[in-house]
Amino acid sequence: MILNLSDYSNETLQHQLVQQIRALILSGDLEEGAQLPSIRGLATEQKVSVITVQRAYEALERHGLIQARRGKGFMVVALEPEERRRLALARFEAELHPQIEQARAEGLSSLELLASVSRLLDGTPA
Note the residues at the interface with its own copies (CB under 8 A). Answer: 19-20, 22-23, 26-28, 84-85, 87-89, 91-93, 95-97, 99-100, 102-114, 116-118, 120-122, 124-126
Do the Cβ atoms of 9 and 16 come closer than 8 Å? yes
End-to-end CA distance of the chain: 25
Q: Is residue 109 within a helix (H) or strand (E), and if so which, with residue range?
A: none
Q: Looking at the DSSP assignment, which residues form a beta bridge with residue 76? A: 66
The answer to whether 52 and 43 are in contact (CB under 8 A) is yes
Looking at the Cβ atoms of 23 and 114, the one nearer to DNA is: 23
Q: Which is nearer to its own copies, 5 or 91 (CB)?
A: 91
Q: Which listed range, 53-61, 83-91, 97-105, 117-125, lies at the site for DNA (CB under 7 A)? A: 53-61
Residue ranges in contact with DNA by CB under 7 A? 12-15, 36, 38-41, 48-52, 54-55, 57-58, 68-74
